[in-house]
Amino acid sequence: MTKRILVVEDTEDNRKIVRDLLSSVGYELIEAVDGAEGVALAQSERPDLILMDIQLPVVDGYEATRRIRAIPELAAVPIIAVTSYALSGDEAKTREAGCTGYVAKPFSPRQLLAKIREFLPNEG
């Protein structure tokens, strides 16, 4: 069964890069443009993994992650935080909010893929 990944990302280009990358290796993509939509889609779609941008409009990535973790069915889903470069202490903050992994922007698609495979090893 194809693994489904929810991408919460407000920049169109970043979404397209992730989409092109992940669909090329056989993942199914669900896309949300802000934190609130991300929480809603996570609840309705039950993805296997969530890529969570931290700097988001409406509801930021920290808050969205906390809300998702509050949903019992989603307590164990891997959430990989994607944060801007060089904001020191970000990794600790994302872990506090409930993220499982951490990728710093700018990420290279290869690095991102490697990180995703840590959590979904049987794909690609």
Residue numbers at the binding site for another protein (CB under 8 A): 11, 13-14, 17, 20-21, 24, 84-86, 88-89, 92, 105-110
29's CB contacts (< 8 A; 6+ apart) are 4, 5, 7, 18, 19, 22, 23
- Residue closer to another protein by CB (options 76, 86) is 86
Q: Which CA distances in Å does 122 have to 74, 80, 93?
A: 20, 18, 29
Provide DSSP, 47-78: -SEEEEESS-SSS-HHHHHHHHHTSGGGTTS-
Nearer Cβ to another protein, position 9 or 48? 9
Least CB distance to another protein at residue 75 (A): 28
Q: How far is the CB of 14 from another protein (least distance, A)?
A: 7
Shortest gap between Cβ of 88 and another protein (angstroms)?
5
Q: How far is the CB of 108 from another protein (least distance, A)?
A: 6
- Nearer to another protein by C-beta: 29 or 40? 29
Strand pairing of 101-104 and 79-83?
Answer: parallel
